Amino acid sequence: MADDKPAIGMSSDHAGIRLRALLKDYVESLGFTVLDLGPNSDASVDYPDYGYKLAAAIAEGKVETGIAVCGSGIGISMALNRHPHIRCALVTDALMARLAREHNDANVIALGDRLIGDETARDCVRIFLETEFAGGRHQRRVNKLANPVLQV
Amino acid sequence: MADDKPAIGMSSDHAGIRLRALLKDYVESLGFTVLDLGPNSDASVDYPDYGYKLAAAIAEGKVETGIAVCGSGIGISMALNRHPHIRCALVTDALMARLAREHNDANVIALGDRLIGDETARDCVRIFLETEFAGGRHQRRVNKLANPVLQV
């Protein structure tokens, strides 16, 4: 089983269902399994609920990595970053996906179905999954994200 | 004093100093005042520290709105969104800045000096400062961001 790749958590709101399904197929074609957290109908839902579901799945150790989708990616990225264990990067191209991994050790990327094309989204996901964290000076900063001192 | 515009909080890391200075001039040219939270030298600093400073300034009511800059915008946006009163949108164009205000009532935008050009950054800031929150169904979702139920 040494070649098994880890499971990837996925969630969206209703505006992200189409792209989430497309990216689920893509991630599976790359050899990963997917923990799909929904939603499973196109009824209107609230992006914080599905962002928090993915955050919880990562915090509980069910998956290490996630992909989140909403119309713009903005709302669900805000929700995910509420959790001190989540480092969610909203990305619009593969350069951002690479920097999010190398510098920020991002464990989730957020994508906006209304903002980027399908091939750009696949490219972001592939680079996100392939790229290693650079460590070094970046580790200290990542550590501070896990222990927010909000000064209020 | 009826025409006075509110103060805008600004912070960055060392990689965002150049763009922060440029945007400070731009925001002031639009008639806003700026609460500049630094840093004031180009020595290497950690983006979480300066993200939390801006979050605290907003949480304490010193400013209502902020602009944050780092190399990619990713790290400082993660840090800001740690705070439940902050809705920070990482944006790469004016459409994202508009949607961040209309749908997410974003009170901070994050920009990446290495990722977007100066005119694009000014365009993002102008649209961010001009656009009103749409309210309605979006209000319920924004409320959930203030009360994260992390299910862990």
CB of B72 less than 8 A from some CB of A: yes
pLDDT score recorded for residue A1: 43
Give the total number of structural domains in chain A: 1
Rounded CA gap, B77 and A81, in Å?
A: 9
* pLDDT the model gives residue A6: 86
pLDDT tens-digit readout, B48-79: 999 999 999 999 999 999 999 999 999 999 99
Question: Which tokens go with A1?
Answer: 């089983």
| Per-position DSSP letters for chain A, written without gaps between them | -TTPPPEEEEEE-GGGHHHHHHHHHHHHHTT-EEEE----S-S---HHHHHHHHHHHHHTTS-SEEEEEESSSHHHHHHHTTSTT--EEE-SSHHHHHHHHHHH--SEEEEETTTS-HHHHHHHHHHHHHPPP--THHHHHHHHHHS-----
- Using the beta-carbon criterion (under 8 Å), do A103 and B71 form an inter-chain contact? yes
Q: Mean per-residue pLDDT for A49-58?
A: 96
Does A74 contact chain B (CB < 8 Å)? Answer: yes
Q: Has residue A2 been placed in a domain?
A: no
B118 within a domain of the structure (yes/no): yes
- Residue A147, pLDDT score: 77
Distance from CA of A3 to the nearest CA of B (A): 30
Local confidence band at A42 (pLDDT 50, 70, 90 cut-offs): confident
Q: A131 to chain B, minimum CA–CA distance in Å?
A: 16
Q: For an interface test with A, give the residue of B104, B137, B139, B149 to mutate (most A CBs within 10 A).
A: B104
Residue B44: CB atoms within 10 A of its CB come to 10
Scanning A32-61 for CB atoms below 8 A from B yields: 44, 46-49, 52-53, 55-56, 59-60
Mean pLDDT for chain B overall: 94
Query: Who contacts A56 (Cβ-Cβ below 8 Å, separation ≥6)?
Result: A83, B150, B151, B152
pLDDT one-digit tens code per residue, A122-150: 999 999 999 999 999 999 999 999 977 65
B40 part of a folded domain: yes
Residue B150 in this model has a pLDDT that exceeds 80: no
B152 is a domain residue: no
B14-55: pLDDT as tens digits: 999 999 999 999 999 999 999 999 999 989 999 999 999 999
* Dist CA A26 CA B85 (whole Å): 36
The reply to whether B1 falls in a domain is no
B79 within domain boundaries: yes
The pLDDT of A96-104, averaged and rounded, is: 98
Nearest to B37 by CA among B52, B26, B27: B52
> CA A36 to CA A11: how far, in whole Å?
6
Q: Is residue B84 part of a domain?
A: yes
ipTM here: 0.94
**Do A78 and B89 make contact, defined as CB atoms within 8 angstroms?**
yes
| Comparison of pLDDT for A1 and A66, the residue scoring more | A66
Percent of chain A with pLDDT over 90: 91
* Domain CATH code at residue A103: 3.40.1400.10
B4 interfaces chain A, CB cutoff of 8 Å: no
> What confidence category does residue B8 fall into, taking pLDDT thresholds of 50, 70 and 90?
very high
- Is B41 domain-assigned? yes
Q: A1 burial class (0-12, 13-18, 19+ CB within 10 angstroms)?
A: exposed
**pLDDT of amino acid B36:** 98
CB atoms B141 and A96 under 8 Å: no
**How far out from the chain centre does Cα A93 lie?**
14
Q: Is A103 a catalytic residue?
A: yes
Show the tokens assigned to B101. 């205000």
Structural domain for B71, as ranges = 7-146
- Residue numbers in A near B100 (CB within 8 A): 72, 74
Enumerate residues 131 to 150 of chain B having a beta carbon within 8 A of any beta carbon in chain A: 137, 140-141, 144-145, 148-150
